Structures are given as C-alpha cells and as structure tokens.
C-alpha cells in the first residue's frame, strides 16, 4: 500500500512542548525549499477541519476526557493525511510535519495512561500505514522546555497547563518510543537555537544523501 501512494519523503519533528519543533520546522523549510519541493505542516490543525479540532483540544473551557482527546487528535490526523500528507507525498514532495503519530503515543499513551496498543492501531488506520521516513526527536529535559514555554508570549494550551509529573511521563514516553530506532535522529535540543538548527540541517542532508533518488 505504502509504495503506491507515497513517492516523496516524509519527515516528522517530535519532542515535548517547548523543545523547539516549530522553530526547527521553519529552519528546515527555509533550507530545504531552496532545492526541493517542500511542504511544512503540523498536527493538530493543518486543515480547515483540523483547525476546529485544534480549538477544541487546545482551548475548550469544558474538560475533555482522555479518550475523547485521543480520538480528536486521531480525527485531525485522518483529515491531515487525507488532505495534505498523502497528496503531497504522491506528488513527490518532502513533507515535514511538526508532530505526528508518536505524539499521541507519548501524550495520550504515556501521559494520560491510555492503551498504547490501541493508540498504535488507530494511528496505523488513520495514516493508511504510512510512516515517517525519518523522525527528528528534539530531546530536552522538561525544565528547559517549560521555561521556554513560559517565556513565549502565547496563551497556554490545555496540555501546556498540565503539571510537571504529566510532562515527565511524556518525556519518559518519548525516550521509550524512540530508544534504539534506526529511523529516528536524536537532536540535542537543549543547545542554543542556532546550534540546534545547524545540527538538524546537517542531519537532514545526511539523511537525504542516502535517499536522494526518492525525490
């Protein structure tokens, strides 16, 4: 199935809130779009339907139960793949997504304690089994990341208002998910932003040099 619908390259950025994914996405997009067809996208909220879902999961005044929260992220992902990820991959683009399926596993699986196998099954279903070719894991401890989120001049989302023990479970979750995976490149995201961006750009070129025939 994958080979029929996917011809481009699918990259994802993962890490806890404040690890620097959105900043890294901009740096990668700016660099790669000089020589490739690239689309920068994100979860949740990349599509018109996804924006409604993002409003509910990030700023609802009513508390969402964990199962509803996961299913809303999954619905956003289904729409994201249908409208953006799969069509652009079919058109041989490099698609870079700020968060994707591993975030659900880390936040709703490890963070909220939902059944991880169920989350994996639903992720597989909504993505039609299409997985990232490479994931950049922006690794940093939660103290550094929380300070950045607190400094950022944006209203905190529902998840960003969670307590330290929740973020510790999510951080531990990312470590467990990405441990020993050959499709994951770990970036030391506790460094200054310039160095993080240099590292990730170098890493993406190394990755592309092994896969350059694909785009």
Ligand X SMILES: Nc1ncnc2c1ncn2[C@@H]1O[C@H](COP(=O)(O)OP(=O)(O)OP(=O)(O)O)[C@@H](O)[C@H]1O
| Interface residue list for ligand X (CB under 6 A) | 15, 17-23, 148-149, 152, 191-193, 196
Burial classification of residue 7, based on how many CB atoms lie within 10 Å of its CB (0-12 exposed, 13-18 middle, 19 or more buried): middle
Residue 52 contact among ligand X, Mg ion, none, beta carbon within 5 to 8 Å by kind: none
Q: Which of 22, 37, 58, 157 binds Mg ion (CB under 5 A)?
A: 22
Which span sits near Mg ion by CB under 5 A: 20-28, 76-84, 134-142, 172-180? Answer: 20-28
The token duo for 24 is 């890294």
3-state helix, strand, coil in the chain (%, to 5): 60, 15, 30
User: Which residues in 115-154 contact Mg ion (CB under 5 A)?
Assistant: none
CB of 172 to ligand X, least distance (A): 17
CB of 144 to ligand X, least distance (A): 8
Going by DSSP bridges, is the β-strand pair 94-98/38-42 parallel, antiparallel, or unpaired? parallel
CB of 170 to ligand X, least distance (A): 11
CB of 35 to ligand X, least distance (A): 24
Taking the least distance from each CB to ligand X, the nearer of 8 and 41 is 41
Cβ 203 vs Cβ 185: under 8 Å: yes
CB of 95 to ligand X, least distance (A): 17
* DSSP secondary structure code for residue 127 in this structure: T
Nearest alpha-carbon partner for 80 in 46, 119, 128: 46
With b for 16 or more beta-carbon neighbours within 10 A and e for fewer, the 171-190 pattern comes to bebbeebbeeeeebbbbebb
Taking the least distance from each CB to ligand X, the nearer of 3 and 192 is 192
**Residue 157 within binding range of Mg ion, rule CB under 5 A:** no
Which span sits near Mg ion by CB under 5 A: 18-26, 56-64, 108-116, 146-154? Answer: 18-26
* Phi, psi for 97 (deg, rounded to 5): -115, 130
Q: In the complex, which residues of this chain contact Mg ion (CB under 5 A)?
A: 22
């Amino acid at each position: 199935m994958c080979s029929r619908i996917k011809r481009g390259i699918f990259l994802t950025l993962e890490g806890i809130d404040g690890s620097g994914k959105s900043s890294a996405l901009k740096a990668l997009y700016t660099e790669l779009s000089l020589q490739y067809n690239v689309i920068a996208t994100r979860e949740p909220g990349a599509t018109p339907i996804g924006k409604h879902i993002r409003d509910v999961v990030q700023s609802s005044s009513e508390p969402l139960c964990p199962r509803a929260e996961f299913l809303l992220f999954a619905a956003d992902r289904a729409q994201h793949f249908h409208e953006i990820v799969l069509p652009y991959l079919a058109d041989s683009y490099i698609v870079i997504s700020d968060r994707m399926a591993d975030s659900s596993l880390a936040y709703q699986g490890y963070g909220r304690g939902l059944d991880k196998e169920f989350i994996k099954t639903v992720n597989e279903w909504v993505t039609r089994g299409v997985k990232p070719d490479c994931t950049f894991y922006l690794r940093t401890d939660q103290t550094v990341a929380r300070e950045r989120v607190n400094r950022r001049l944006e209203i905190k989302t529902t998840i960003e208002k969670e307590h330290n023990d929740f973020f510790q479970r999510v951080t531990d979750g990312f470590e467990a998910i990405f441990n020993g995976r050959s499709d994951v490149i770990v970036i030391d995201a506790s460094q200054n932003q310039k160095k993080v961006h240099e590292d990730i750009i170098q890493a993406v070129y190394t990755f592309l040099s092994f896969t350059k025939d694909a785009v």
